[in-house]
A = this chain, B = another copy of it.
Amino acid sequence: MKLYDLELSGNCYKVRLFAALARIPLDVVPVDFLGGEHKRPPLSDLNPWGEIPVLVDGDVVLRDSHAILVYLASRHGGAAWLPGDPAGLAEVVQWLSTAANEVQNGPCAARLVDKFGYGLDKAETIRRSLRILPLIDAHLAASAWLAAGRPTIADCAVFPYVALAPEGGVSLEPYGNIRSWIARVKALPNFLPMPGV
């Protein structure tokens, strides 16, 4: 099972982190991101969107970090990391949507500007960060984990770009519940770090 990967990408890290926690072996293939390898064949044939991560498992090719988390949890992790009942499954999917939109366009986008020079509207990325982080913090006031009362792929999806928020100039100082949750994630057996986390 091949993961086309960039070490500094939080989206790739979501997959590496979950695979480490769930002890799923991955063949990690580094991509020359700065050289644009992901935008040329053969990688752009695997993912016409020109993005990474990409997971290849035999005939299965997946282009989205959240879909990859669902696939790995469903195929290799059992129900431990992705509840199978409708309410539990939907509770996790709520946080995958949050990771795909609010976190991606908030703290992740702020970091893309500061760390990689992306030409995004920095003020807008901060505005979005300051909307979503208090909501996550308030949620974590009442529960140790994002969904289902236990660590799930919801935590793996949201953790990277929230933990990396300071790299985009977004302080986590005001968010005590988030900081406690980050410490809990880091204390999970087989936790895998990345640069900046």
Contacts and interface: CB of A to CB of B under 8 A. Distances in A.
A49 interface: yes
Given A86-B71, A87-B71, A89-B71, A98 B48 contact: no
Interface residues of A, number: 33
Interface of A: 48-49, 59-60, 62-64, 66-68, 70-71, 74-75, 86-87, 89-91, 93-94, 96-98, 100-101, 104-105, 121, 124, 135, 138-139
Contact of A90 (B68, B104, B121): B68
B90 A67 contact: yes
Given A64-B98, A67-B91, A100-B101, 19 more contacts: A48-B138, A49-B135, A60-B87, A62-B91, A64-B93, A64-B94, A64-B97, A66-B94, A67-B97, A68-B90, A70-B89, A74-B86, A74-B90, A93-B93, A97-B97, A97-B100, A100-B100, A101-B101, A121-B124
